[in-house]
């Protein structure tokens, strides 16, 4: 049986993503292992403690999740198995009996706070922000009964449920359509079969400056009619201005145009890390121009074989 | 006299950047106003409370500072006046008399913690991380004398100095060459004179998908022989996958090649926001190919005028 | 009154093009001066002997007319005023009373012969080709009554008419839709007003090899959404492999996108020669994308002016 | 034994190219078959009458030889086996005893005449040009003793030799460094082994207009770091403005970068015709960037195989 892990603790949006992924497999969900940090979760796969882990990778408001991108970009390579989109609906949760007037401090994760700033400014203008390790950690702290520098938490509905808190306000996010994308990460070499509605993720390192360098990399996609769905720059840490690029694009390792783009990128980039090909959460099939279809590649290769006798 | 502000509180690396910028102007440094958040600092310029503010924009290890990028990308436009590079040297600071063995928790900002993780794992493996609003806020909390869930802070040397804490360890960053770039932001329309060693910052919004869209934008730079020094993607918040790009490049608004690139970008992008032209902190002159030099543009225009009679 | 010239003698397709251009102006047509060669015709404009001359520039079967392209590419610059498309309908003409069986040799110009080769192979397989200076010269030679090494001429219908020959066969071209394009050339600096359905002609010289060099030139058009209608390579004569390019493209010197493309070409090419902007013979309006329209340029420039204060 | 043919008659520069190619093989040279036209020569290979034929393909002053380009671009495909560069040194030849003052007409081919125009204008300003089927045909006509409308011929030194004429002036070409390139053409499927200093010739047909279309084709070369040595546009004859491109580029069918460029061209062009890979006459090795070297392709493919398990 596949052993699952996730970036925890219980009650996070990441656990909600895992529940979505596992659908009705209650047993697997119950046995899933929470990890305290994203790097720890990925290491859990590397050491074999679990088979796959769910981690957040991109938020429609806050952008790429740096901790995840950086942890995927270094260390032993892993392979993304799939993705889940979770609408981000924050609640304001507190111990039973708490009134809004009692709230002087609000605990939450530093990524969540900017997403509820407008609601807070209007509804609880006097409340101070208190940083916590995660949204669920803030909820758990309240549930512990110990003294805290805050009376309420901004967290996922699941956290209020798990830690038995009262929800004082629902859906308090400033951006009602905020969504976070999570990926299920497994061991290197595991590549799910092509479905026709797939995505591939890579990390690209360029040789020199940003100008020509990135342009040359992007042309490898454009020349094969491949659409990008994400381009996130991340510093390599080597020096100010030294960046790598996390890139998601349409298609699967087994598509000819993807294979050729990967070959080209491998040649012209300073380095490339393959992070996986996997079905898209939205099931949208890739839009492929005729000259980039597998048949077009096959027919060209047959022609070349003919020339070479 | 110019009124200065900065992303505070006192004791942050941002205040150190401001001291660098002001050099020997002790009076201006003493009267500089700290702001609690980057958006508040920028609003301080917008409302006229101060004339310019210093804010962090890019770290060589952690990448672009999202709060600053997002705050510059929205609201009334502002104009970057200059930049400062500050080497990031973290110290471990505590109340006088604290021994390493006493330390169970360490307070710091969530951007600082990943930069000292290796040192901590080796030297203080049992210490838990406690998030704070800034590195200086952690130091200030210790200095306040009140009970805290941590016994030491990871902060700038200046913070230990300002808050009269004892430095238990110097230079504990995992990356000895880490640098943060700060920018001094003023009112829209203020553009420092061209020096020949300048940078220009813009935010670009593309029309469609990432593939052709970003490529077309980058070609506007490549076609004019302009080098990029930063490309940072940021979500627009409109939808998953909707991004804008913070781009820094060599040259000044008064350089012909920059003016032409801006004209081209204005035409082909969905939108462009000009964030300023200002002298480079490193004083490195732009490397301009002959065909992109001002004389080349002037001579071409003269030729065209001749054709048009 | 405008004095007209053409690449003669009388009876050529070029004279037919001039008649088209002059429409009902019989007086001007009657006084038009024939020149023996294309270079001589162009020199007729340069010396002021005539104001404008009609010369052939491109044939749909045989391609660019090298003599014209080379003569326009060197010497004092001239300016194309307009173009005429003439369907090429060859006739087989001979002295009155000639029978097909009498024909052992057929005189014509070396450009005309390949265009009737199939008809000749089928209808007059034994007839030898005898080169002449022009199709009309072959007809004129027969009309002169002197002994000739050929009994029939392949020429324009007009030549049979002018030289009073009998037409033995009509429309003997192998390609029924063959068309030749002629241009009316005047003095430098004369640029007809923009009509919205215009063409511009230039000659481009590149710096180095064919690969990157030509690509860089073509990108100047592509970046402004400009369609080419002709690209003809011509050796510069300097060395084997040294070429320049005669390029026709949609648009007028007074269109913003054309002006900007010319400025760019002037900067990045080794040299550029402007040969004129003039109304298209087919009257087809240019297809201009929104971002390349004049309004888009004007609005971008206004924005830039605002930035520069 | 290989049977050789050439575009004749005897005494042409093409025969000189064949002598160069055959070096000391006097027997093969003696038995080589002259053909009256380039298409006839190529058909001689197609029908098996000869194994290979020498034909002119490009002149440094006059450009591509249309008859050869068009004949290679249509009909059953053939394969270029090699190339020869011949310096073009024209002589003025006449029957023994002819004085310059006797010369009223000069016979030659229409490609040769423009190359001696300046010399003629200075030395024999009164002499009229009389077109001939080839430079050698003009010489042969004089040698025949029959009455001719010219007293001298502009031809190759070999022609004066072969037809026993007297040379009145040596090296009369206006461009002392004029060179013609000849190719030896054989049956389809014969591809000489790679030498490291090779050229490949193709004909490319594009889908639509000239702008994006040609650009997209050229990018296939640029993306693989391949230099072009010739780009010649030729009308397809289908309609005014419908062109194909004869392209020569560095490298051999057995080079990885060439194979990949051919595959890409096959996919994105409307059609492609392979005309051969063969050793360069100048023996100059291709300049290949590291990322386009065979090892780079091999290593990338191995990496891809690893990903695919």
CB contact under 8 A, D214 and C210: no
Is the pLDDT assigned to residue D73 strictly greater than 80? yes
pLDDT band at A283 (very low <50, low <70, confident <90, very high): very high
Q: Are C201 and C276 in contact (CB under 8 A)?
A: yes
* Chains D and A touch, contact meaning at least 3 pairs of CB atoms under 8 angstroms apart: yes
Is the pLDDT assigned to residue A67 strictly greater than 90? no
Min Cα–Cα distance to chain A from D264, Å: 8
Q: Residue A109: is it exposed, middle or buried by C-beta count within 10 angstroms (0-12/13-18/19+)?
A: buried
- Under DSSP, the state recorded for D208 is S
Q: Which two tokens stand for residue B158?
A: 């200046």
Q: How many Å apart are CA D242 and CA C63, to the nearest integer? A: 10
Q: What DSSP element (H or E) covers C129?
A: strand C128-132
CB contact under 8 A, A110 and B114: no
Choose from C78, C189, C266, C301 for mutation: most chain B CBs within 10 A.
C266
CB contact under 8 A, C249 and D59: no
* Chains B and D touch, contact meaning at least 3 pairs of CB atoms under 8 angstroms apart: no
CB contact under 8 A, B191 and C267: no
Write down how long chain B is. Answer: 309
Residues of chain C with Cβ-Cβ distance to D177 below 8 Å are: 239
* CATH class name, domain D92-169: alpha beta
- Neighbours of C, requiring at least 3 CB pairs below 8 Å, are B, D
Mean pLDDT of A217-243: 85
Residue numbers of chain B with a pLDDT score lower than 70: 208-212
Choose from A307, A308, A309 for mutation: most chain D CBs within 10 A.
A307
3-state secondary structure chain A: CCCEEEECCCCCHHHHHHHHHHCCCHHHHHHCEEECCHHHHHHHHHCCCCCEEEEEEEECCCEECHHHHHHHHCCCCEEEEEEEEEECCCEEEECCCCCHHHCCEEEEECCCHHHCHHHHHHHCCCCEEEEECCHHHHHHHHHCCCCCCCCEEEECHHHHHHCCCEEEECCCCCCCCCEEEEEEEEECCCCCCCCCCEEEEEEEECCCCCHHHHHHHHHHHHCCCCCEEEEEEEECCCCCCCEEEEEEEECCCCCHHHHHHHHHHHHHCCEEEEEEEEECCCCCCCCCCHHHCHHHHHHHHHHHHHHCC
Nearest to A223 among D219, D291, D309 (CB): D219
Choose from A138, A175, A210 for mutation: most chain B CBs within 10 A.
A210
| CA-based radius of gyration for chain A | 22
Min Cα–Cα distance to chain C from B297, Å: 7
CB contact under 8 A, D303 and A266: yes
Q: What DSSP element (H or E) covers D18?
A: helix D13-22
Choose from C228, C234, C265 for mutation: most chain D CBs within 10 A.
C228
Is the pLDDT assigned to residue C209 strictly greater than 80? no
Min Cα–Cα distance to chain A from D209, Å: 17
Domain A1-88+182-189 has CATH 1.10.645.10: no
So what's the pLDDT on residue A232?
86
So what's the pLDDT on residue C35?
96
CB contact under 8 A, D191 and A303: no
**C218-238, pLDDT tens digit by residue?**
888 988 889 888 888 888 877
**B157-207, pLDDT tens digit by residue?**
999 999 999 999 999 999 988 999 999 999 998 899 999 999 999 999 987
C-alpha distances in Å from residue A176, one per residue of A88, A285, B239, C234, D102: 8, 27, 11, 62, 99
Q: Where are the beta strands (DSSP E) in chain D?
A: 4-7, 33-35, 52-59, 63-64, 78-87, 91-94, 105-109, 128-132, 152-155, 166-169, 179-187, 198-205, 228-235, 243-250, 271-279
So what's the pLDDT on residue B212?
65
According to CATH, what is the number of the domain C91-169?
A: 3.40.190.10
Min Cα–Cα distance to chain D from A193, Å: 11
CB contact under 8 A, B226 and A211: yes
So what's the pLDDT on residue B189?
87
Poorest-pLDDT segment among A225-229, B51-55, B186-190, D7-11: A225-229
Is-same-fold flag (A91-169; A191-309)? no
Choose from B182, B232, B235, B246 for mutation: most chain A CBs within 10 A.
B235
CB contact under 8 A, B291 and C267: yes
| CA-based radius of gyration for chain C | 22
Nearest to B239 among A60, A129, A215 (CB): A60
Across B124-151, b (16+ Cβ under 10 Å) vs e yields beebebbbbbbbbbbbbbbbeeeebebb
Choose from D235, D246, D248, D288 for mutation: most chain C CBs within 10 A.
D235
According to CATH, the superfamily of the domain at D1-88+173-190 is: Periplasmic binding protein-like II (3.40.190.10)
> What residues of chain A have any CB closer than 8 angstroms to a CB in chain D?
189, 191, 219-220, 223, 253-254, 259, 262-264, 266-268, 274, 291-292, 296-297, 299-301, 303-304, 307-309
Q: How many Å apart are CA D201 and CA D75, to the nearest integer? A: 16
According to CATH, the superfamily of the domain at A191-309 is: ACT domain (3.30.70.260)
Q: How many Å apart are CA D116 and CA C84, to the nearest integer? A: 32
**D166-208, pLDDT tens digit by residue?**
999 999 999 988 999 999 999 998 899 999 999 999 999 987 6
Query: Phi first, then psi: what are they for C4, rounded to 5°?
Result: -105, 145
Mean pLDDT of A129-142: 93
Contacts of C254 (CB under 8 A, 6+ apart): B308, C194, C277
Mean pLDDT of A291-297: 89
Residue of B nearest to C293 (CA): B267
Nearest to B228 among A177, A209, A235 (CB): A209
Contacts of C61 (CB under 8 A, 6+ apart): C88, C114, C115, C175, C178, D235, D237
So what's the pLDDT on residue B103?
97
Q: Are C67 and C210 in contact (CB under 8 A)?
A: no
Nearest to C263 among B191, B262, B304 (CB): B304
- Concatenated DSSP letters of D50-86: -SEEEEEEEETTTEE-HHHHHHHHSSS-EEEEEEEEE
So what's the pLDDT on residue C210?
46
Residue of D nearest to A207 (CA): D291
Min Cα–Cα distance to chain B from C87, Å: 33
Q: Which two tokens stand for residue A34?
A: 């929470």
Q: Are B89 and B157 in contact (CB under 8 A)?
A: yes
pTM of the entire structure?
Answer: 0.86
Domain boundaries, chain D: 1-88+173-190, 92-169, 191-309
Poorest-pLDDT segment among B201-210, C187-196, D102-111: B201-210
Residues of chain A with Cβ-Cβ distance to B222 below 8 Å are: 211-212, 215
Q: How many Å apart are CA B195 and CA B178, to the nearest integer? A: 27
CB contact under 8 A, B229 and A241: yes
Is the pLDDT assigned to residue A209 strictly greater than 70? no
Report the range out of A224-238, C61-75, D230-244, D245-259 with the highest average pLDDT: D245-259
Look at residue D181 and give its three-state secondary structure: strand
- Under DSSP, the state recorded for C170 is S
Residues of chain B with Cβ-Cβ distance to C299 below 8 Å are: 266
Q: How many Å apart are CA C40 and CA C27, to the nearest integer? A: 23
Complex ipTM, two decimals?
0.85
Higher pLDDT, C114 or B203: B203
Residue of C nearest to D235 (CA): C63
So what's the pLDDT on residue B210?
46
- Neighbours of A, requiring at least 3 CB pairs below 8 Å, are B, D
- Under DSSP, the state recorded for C163 is T
> DSSP H helical segments within D74-223, as ranges?
117-123, 135-143, 157-162, 211-222
Residues of chain D with Cβ-Cβ distance to A266 below 8 Å are: 299-300, 303-304
Residues of chain A with Cβ-Cβ distance to D220 below 8 Å are: 223
């Amino acid at each position: 049986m596949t052993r699952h892990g996730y970036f925890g603790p219980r009650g996070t949006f990441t656990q909600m993503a895992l529940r979505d992924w596992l659908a009705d497999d209650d047993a697997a969900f119950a046995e899933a292992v929470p990890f305290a940090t994203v790097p720890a979760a990925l290491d859990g796969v590397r050491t074999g403690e679990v088979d796959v882990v769910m981690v957040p990778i991109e938020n429609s408001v806050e952008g790429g999740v740096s901790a995840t991108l950086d942890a995927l970009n270094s260390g032993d390579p892993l392979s993304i198995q799939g993705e889940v989109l979770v609408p981000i609906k924050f609640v304001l949760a507190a111990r039973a009996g708490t009134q809004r007037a009692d709230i002087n401090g609000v605990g939450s994760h530093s990524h969540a706070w900017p997403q509820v700033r407008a609601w807070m400014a209007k509804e609880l203008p006097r409340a101070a922000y208190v940083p916590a390790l995660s949204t669920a950690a803030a909820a758990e702290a309240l549930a512990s009964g110990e003294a805290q520098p805050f009376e309420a938490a901004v967290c996922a509905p699941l956290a209020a449920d798990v830690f038995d808190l009262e929800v004082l306000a629902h859906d308090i996010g400033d951006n009602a359509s905020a969504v976070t994308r999570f990926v299920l990460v497994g061991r290197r070499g595991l590549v799910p079969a092509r479905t026709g509605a797939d995505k591939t993720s890579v990390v690209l390192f360029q040789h020199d400056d940003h100008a020509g360098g990135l342009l040359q990399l992007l042309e490898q996609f454009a020349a094969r009619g491949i659409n990008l769905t994400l381009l996130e720059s991340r510093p390599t840490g080597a020096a100010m201005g030294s960046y790598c690029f996390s890139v998601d694009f349409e298609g699967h390792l087994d598509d000819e145009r993807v294979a050729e783009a990967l070959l080209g990128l491998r040649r012209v980039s300073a380095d490339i890390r393959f992070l996986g090909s996997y079905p898209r959460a939205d099931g949208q099939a890739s839009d492929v121009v005729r000259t980039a279809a597998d048949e077009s590649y096959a027919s060209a290769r047959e022609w070349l074989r003919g020339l070479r006798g």
